[in-house]
A and B are shown apart, each in its own frame.
Chain A
Amino acid sequence: MKYLLVEDNFELANAISSRMGLDGHQVDHAAKISDALDYAKAGEYDLILLDIMLPDGDGRSFLKQHRAGKNDTPVIVLTARSQVSDRISMLDLGADDYVTKPFDHAELQARCRAVLRRKSGTAQPTTRIGDVEFDPVRGHLNVKGTTINLRNRELRLLELLMNAKGQVFSKQKLVDRLFSYDDDVSENAIEVYVGRLRKHLEGSSVHIRTLRGIGYRLDHEE
């Protein structure tokens, strides 16, 4: 996925970019509205993350100009305000959703996915490995012509494994990525989700391999 991040705080922008990178997304950063409008015109972005207070104006004016240019790239606003009325007025101006700073990256990702799912047409970038086709936005897994609807954590686990085919993920890492830091879960919880995915992938050319004492890895049989 390709994101445009409009944020004047470089530290935060870096933090978001690097965190997005962990999930395999590409992020372009603009620090001003004028730059952001140029970026938005030039590149094809799947989604724009927009800070509302910028040095050369209010994020709302970007939203107005953005929408005026018939650009329907979805926008998620990053706001420091938490009052309901402000949130609503932002949605009225054409933002698709918002998150309040500081935010949980998992929530940001979830919102991005939801917005993309709402906005996307029929053509979706899907990931294909052997006879398995995966649509991470809709959460669909197609194995030999059969479409399975994945639950959220199954989806996120599969996305993680498929984006790094052949890479080994420790149980600890998977828990960190799938659960919130304050979800009180043991590493064994991962086994449940791995078990479910294995069931979904049964009979296909894709396998999730257990490397005892190390972790899991997604393999493809040629």
Chain B
Amino acid sequence: MKNDFVVLGSLRNQLATILTGGAALLAILLFFVVRGYATQIAQEGQDNILSASVSSILDAAVLRDGVVELDFPYASLSMLSTSADDRIFYAIYEDGNLLSGYDGLETGLGASGNARMFVSAQYDNATVRVATASRTLIGADRSRQVTVSVAQTQDALAETLNRISRNVAGFGLGFFALATALAFWGTSTTIGQLSRLTTSVTRRGPQDLSPFLKPVPTEMVPLVRSLNTLMARLDQSLKQSEDFIAEAAHRVRTPLATVRSYAEATFQRVQNQENRDALRSMMRAIDESSRAAGQLLDHAMVTFRAGNLEREDVDLDGLLRDLVQRMTPVADMRDVALYLDSNAPAILQGDPVLLQNAFRNLIDNALKYAPAETSIMIHVQTTPRIRVDVSDQGRGFLLHEIDKLAGRFVRGGDTEGHIGSGLGLTIAQDVVNAHDGIMTLSNRQEGGACVSLQF
């Protein structure tokens, strides 16, 4: 169906976007915060070991005979072993002059003296973390300042960080996936309320304008309230227009009935052929206009209901039985017999009002064309599919027009002298189509017309 209003975005998508977008942002934030924190901790860990290494070297410094001796323990360097086999550089200075170790190592130690410092620097094409500390050795003549720097590459640190990053990324993705699933669930649940309201409104029959009474969440109360107000207004205006139409029909048809009754009574009494012809024309005109008005309204109703087909279980057997009973008096008047050949329920999913209308028009048609003291047969068959044949013993259809007869206001070429609007077959055709069936017109071999409705 084409909407005749502008559709702008989707509430579900907006909600889902906001929620999943929020989850993604949170996940990214989580990733960076945890990673940053982990980096800090890991760096602190490395700094602590470097610091311990520096301390152990510095502690071994002694002044012997005015010479700085440094017999530092094996552990000073062995504590720096890592799984990634990080490179180690160190430098020992006495009063700023390199005493031993690697030259050119950035110590980051300025005039600040004893403070222990950590700096990240480049050495031999590698990024290293350098820990530096100083100690003053008091000698007999003068004091010396011994400064030790120990540096280590950061391969193990990077490995650890990568591992943590992978884990945190995995955790973040998991969080995101979970949050997304929750977002979609939440969105569906919320939108579900709207869908349920929509379904419940859509499922209503065309006549049902009663207020919506099922429980709804607070946020939807204004919507449902205005919906109900609209329904009430619609219902009232429909009732008003129905009343108006009824009143109008009454005002028009009652005088017509009066005129017709008088005309008929007069017709019974007058002998003059001219007067009789005039009265006959009058009655014919009244009947024709009345019948046309009726069929037009029927056709409008059928068109409306067929567009909003309400399906329920309809027993065609029962429906036709009522119809035959109702139409028998009219048939009797013409000494035409109405027979219903049906012996089992024929259940069809459909609109009983439409179906009754269709069959009434078909039987009406048959009655119009059936000669006196013939019969009209209504045959119902349930297998393989439901099929109803209405056949008479009249003249039958003219074969060359058989395809056009169901058209609107089309009347057969042999219908002179019969009152009709040409809508009877159209109505039947529309009803059958709305029920996904086929209407077939044919002439019976033994004479007479046959209209078959197959569902």
Contacts and interface: CB of A to CB of B under 8 A. Distances in A.
Contacts of B373: 151
A113 interface: yes
B301 A83 contact: yes
A152 B330 CA distance: 10
A105 interface: yes
B353 A105 contact: no
B122 interface: no
Contact of A101 (B254, B283, B332, B333): B254
A96 B239 CA distance: 26
Given A101-B254, A102-B256, A106-B333, A19 B264 contact: yes
Given A9-B254, A83-B297, A88-B353, A181 B280 contact: yes
Given A83-B301, A85-B353, A110-B329, A18 B265 contact: yes
B333 A107 contact: yes
Interface in B330-353: 330, 332-335, 353
B271 A102 contact: no
B286 interface: yes
A64 interface: no
Interface residues on A, range: 35 or more
B189 interface: no
B357 interface: yes
Nearest to A88: B353
Contacts of B267: 176, 181
A9 B301 contact: no
B290 interface: yes
Contacts of A86: 246
A22 B357 CA distance: 34
Contacts of A153: 335, 372
A15 interface: yes
Contacts of B297: 82-83
A101 B271 contact: no
A80 B254 contact: yes
B251 to A, nearest CB: 8
Interface in B261-292: 261-262, 264-265, 267-268, 271, 279-280, 283-284, 286-287, 290
A19 B265 contact: yes
A172 interface: yes
- Identify the interface centre among B247, B265, B329, B330: most chain A CB within 10 Å of its CB: B329
Contacts of B356: 84, 88
A102 B268 contact: no
Nearest to A139: B332
B329 A101 contact: no
Contacts of B252: 80
Nearest to B357: A84
B408 interface: no
Contacts of B334: 152, 180, 183
B353 A12 contact: no
A16 interface: yes
12 contacts: A12-B261, A15-B265, A80-B251, A80-B252, A81-B246, A82-B298, A83-B298, A84-B301, A85-B301, A102-B286, A111-B329, A180-B334
Interface of A: 9, 11-12, 15-16, 18-19, 22, 51-53, 78, 80-86, 88, 97, 100-107, 110-111, 113-114, 151-153, 172-173, 176-177, 180-184
Interface of B: 246-247, 249-262, 264-265, 267-268, 271, 279-280, 283-284, 286-287, 290, 293-294, 297-298, 301, 326, 328-330, 332-335, 353, 356-357, 360, 372-373, 417-419
